[in-house]
Amino acid sequence: MKNYRVNDLLDYRNNSLFLSITCGEKWLQRDIKTPEVNRLGLSLAGHLKHFPGDQVQLYGTAEHSFLEKTAPQKRKVLFEAIFKRFSKTLPCVVVTGNIKPFRELLESTGKHSIPVLKTTLKTSKFHKMAVTALEEYYAPMVKMHGVLVEVYGLGVLITGESGIGKSECALELIKRGHMFVADDVVTVKLRPGNVLIGSGEKIISHHIEVRGIGIIDIKSIFGTGAILDATKIELVIKLEEWNSVKEYDRLGIDDKTTDIIFTKVPEVALPVKPGRNLAVLIEIAALNQRLKQKGHYSAKILNEKLIEEMTSGKQGL
């Protein structure tokens, strides 16, 4: 995987970080190798022992106010101490809150080929959004074969052997008003809090392949209201050929899971057989999973009632 670069931060979600270039446009190819973001803070007072020189550096109101009381020559020395020492690793400096940076900062960064960006966002807001952007890119990732849809607000990954009917099933779900995310190759990233986010490949996004028909543009046929760029994966539906010998779960008391990037995700195996409406079954599985998330386990409740009824019946004999 290629490293994230400063110009990628500029372009993040159509510049949702409200960044612009103050100086150093020719150095925007510098790598950002870590998802962490640092405030210059105490480093401007000469404390560099544990300075993270490979992180994006923020220069905000607190830093600017501190340096206002410092003589220009002293500011030059402080900036040089940082940018000369970390000139090879420091990706960029971001000036927050529309502050006009001191000339000494621009001279020092320019001398050491470090780009300076500015944003209208306040430091705390930008810090949070920038970390999110970098974590999205550097999060643990795996590519999976399947179809990703959102059913009743629940992200459902449909898996199974090629030709089992995953795409056809997804089409029926889209026709029934649910959302399409990705077909064939699903990129899954692990976000903080053990949250799995699934998305499609950019080059084939919003397209689905159906054997006998070909490639279908979901956005063009069903409209923008039928597509999503990404969704949280909360349920896996595994389609498999019907096997008359195999014992299938008929009660649903025991919850089954599958591992995706060291994270357990609820999994339901649906045997494929002529006459079964898989789209409806997936809808029910999604609704049932939402109930489970709220602590309502239909099968367990019924089982407890049956046991209670049987126990009370024996006592009455």
DSSP class per residue in 92-137: -EEE-TT----HHHHHHHHHTT--EEEESS-HHHHHHHHHHHHHHH
> What's the DSSP call for residue 188?
E
Phi, psi of 62 (to 5 degrees): -60, -45
CB neighbour list of residue 137: distance below 8 Å, 6 or more residues apart: 4, 8, 35
How far is CA 18 from each of CA 13, 34, 281, rounded to the nearest angstrom?
A: 10, 21, 44
Report which of 74, 123, 91 is spatially closest to residue 10, judged by C-alpha positions. Answer: 91
Active site residues: 145, 166, 184, 250
Residue 35's Cβ-side half-sphere holds a number of Cα atoms within 13 Å equal to 14
The amino acid occupying position 236 is V
Q: Are strands 4-5 and 116-119 parallel, antiparallel or unpaired?
A: unpaired
Q: Do β-strands 207-210 and 214-217 pair in parallel, antiparallel, or remain unpaired? A: antiparallel
Tally of CB atoms within 10 A around 55: 21
Between vectors from CA 292 to CA 287 and to CA 294, what angle results, nearest 5°? 100
Element of type H or E holding 288:
helix 278-293
Helix 278-293 × helix 166-175 angle, to 10° = 70
The amino acid sitting at 280 is V
Q: Considering just the CA atoms, what is the radius of gyration of the chain in Å?
A: 27
Distance (Å, rounded) from C-alpha 304 to C-alpha 75?
A: 73
